[in-house]
Structure 1
């Protein structure tokens, strides 16, 4: 993000508005996939509040990975809060609805893919999603999760191998057509 002269609030605001316009939708989609549609706007908005507060420390040219990392931490905090509230409600004998409905429910293999992703560690899952869904390269994804590029590359490689193995193991066998013995084929 370009910065104006010290004290040039109008320039800072204009630059930040451009940053917001450029990246808000991507950060919102990122948050929606992680916390659901009910909280995605809050998480994305909070990430931009933090970005505004720390605008002098945003890495020029790498704002989107920084925003993803910020949204990830905020999203995790939202999920922890939701779990705590669910635990409190359960202890009081109440039920809470923590089910998130999103547009991807229409995909037929969604449940199987999500179940397979859930078998990965949190860091592996996050790396796969950052590279596959968010379109980051391995270096940018490493910055988001807070590890070195080499470590991220190794974890991503192992995660992909695990996913392939899990998908093969869970794949339904093709249906076999059995012809009863009494059926005779004549011409």
Structure 2
């Protein structure tokens, strides 16, 4: 591929047919879309420079423009359907998040008071979703030891935050949705 020759051929093609293609597109789309569609037509022409017909290049470019416009129309229709679907969604009030923040802070504070073994037991089961068997391997202890450790960790966490927590809510507060920073109070992410 001779890029100098190709560049000159493309430049000549662009200069000769830009106004025609731009007018063709301008009559069919919103003015804000004209430059994008015309640019796409000439990108296709550049990519297919070796496939251009010797004569009748302008009709070929019109064909490319027609297909590019069809793609733009389909995209616009999808966009319109998406906007309609979003507009049809019911408005859900956001509510006050202060209670959620307070609860999370209480859990984070309680979590930071646990021993590192208990913290790790909770992390392995809640963040990493490991079974007791896999978590025990990761911790380097027996399954029974790990299960006892996990039971104690949950019990101490419940006591530290002084509210009953079932395993699912502990998972949300200490687990995947909680920020993973500053669990030990040092300000350093672990």
Scaled by the length of structure 1, the TM-score of the pair is 0.45
Q: Compute the TM-score of the two structures, normalised by the length of structure 2.
A: 0.45
